[in-house]
Amino acid sequence: MNPRDFRGGSSKSWLCLVLLLAACLGFYSNIFNLIPRWEQREESQSPEAHHLQDQPDSLPLSQDKHTVVLHRLLLEKTEVSEGDCHMDTCKIPEVPRLVYPKAQVLQPTRTDVLVMTPWFAPIVWDGTFDSAILDAQFRNTTIGLTIFAIKKYTVFLQLFLETAEKYFMVGHKVNYYVFTDRPADVPQVPLRQGRQVVVLEVRNYRRWQDVCMHRMEMLSNFSRQRFLHEVDYLVCADVDMKFSDRVGVEILAPLFGTLHPGFYAADRGSFTYERRALSQAYIPRDEGDFYYAGGFFGGSVLEVHRLTAACHQAMMADWARGLEAVWHDESHLNRYLLYHKPSKVLSPEYLWDEQMLRRPPYLRKLRYVAVPKNHAQIRNR
């Protein structure tokens, strides 16, 4: 082969290689130049970009644009998430310095009762909590207590409010929401500082069962329209009761239910769930954790709204079929809490009837108890 031809061919090959390399570099250079323009166009079309453009001087000079955008988005996401959920599920509150006995890992405070559910929700009994620590954790919390005093049930208001002022959430801000068709019959009871009675006038119903059925509807509506803006937690209670011992922030949780005093020691086969499969409250005989009382439940306002709205919708679906659950709103409450596990369960200390039930030795305190009454003289009048 002629060496000149080799050199010529080699020169052409190198030239082609150099041109190919230059073309590649040019192509990728254009691509990289396009990326910021594309991102800038995408950012200018997003609501986040408009937010950033409004505050150009606040961008940290030591950070590049992508870091700043990510930082801002994370901050905004955090703000939204903390606003959408409650303090005890999203934010751990700081507590002041306190002096209290150390918990002993190998010495449980209660061994005579179940203190934890299978889904790790505490069951609240006397001796299982420290009130001082809990009061410090919930010191900036406002609690709403809802009661329904329809028709002659207004006769229970005086005792209910007086005992609540003595025992319920002492040291904390409380709104007593009284649903009634007789606002003039709501008594004037001396209240502690930071506490108030709010009268909510509603219509009455012919049957006491209808009051129970519509209670979920009213709680759902007022939770969405009002309670979300006024309180942090809701406690939904029966009015024909009285407080007889301390009921404090130990009960507060995103969602809590109370063990029914008549069934806390029973097997699930004995629970008076709704057993008709056509009902929205239906629970099969091989399912069920506990039987919860309809007279004392609650949680964060958002979770109470979800619970009451779901129960109301289920009751309306039953009504359309001509059905009424065996224990009305309590049946639907039990169905809901079976498939939406409560984050706390209250022991029968928090709901008891001394006239109907014999007090067992492990029930150290009776905190919320039924008032003796003649149902026939009160209901439907």
Kindly list the catalytic residues.
330
Comparing CA positions, the residue from 209, 237, 220, 211 lying closest to residue 313 is 220
| Residue 104 CB partners (closer than 8 Å, separation 6+) | none
Give the total residue count for the chain. 381
With H, G, I as helix, E, B as strand and everything else as coil, classify residue 148.
strand
The first and second tokens of residue 167, run together, are 């025992």
User: Angle at Cα 112 formed by Cα 111 and Cα 115, nearest 5°?
Assistant: 65
| Residue 193 CB partners (closer than 8 Å, separation 6+) | none
Comparing CA positions, the residue from 66, 91, 68 lying closest to residue 78 is 91
The first and second tokens of residue 340, run together, are 């939406």
Percent of the chain that is helix, strand, coil (3-state, to 5): 45, 15, 40
CA distance 267 to 270: 6
Q: Provide DSSP, 158-175.
A: HHHHHHHHHHBTTTSEEE
Comparing CA positions, the residue from 257, 160, 150, 169 lying closest to residue 214 is 150
The DSSP bridge pattern shows strands 233-237 and 344-346 to be: unpaired
CA distance 340 to 347: 19
The first and second tokens of residue 20, run together, are 């190919």
With H, G, I as helix, E, B as strand and everything else as coil, classify residue 60.
coil
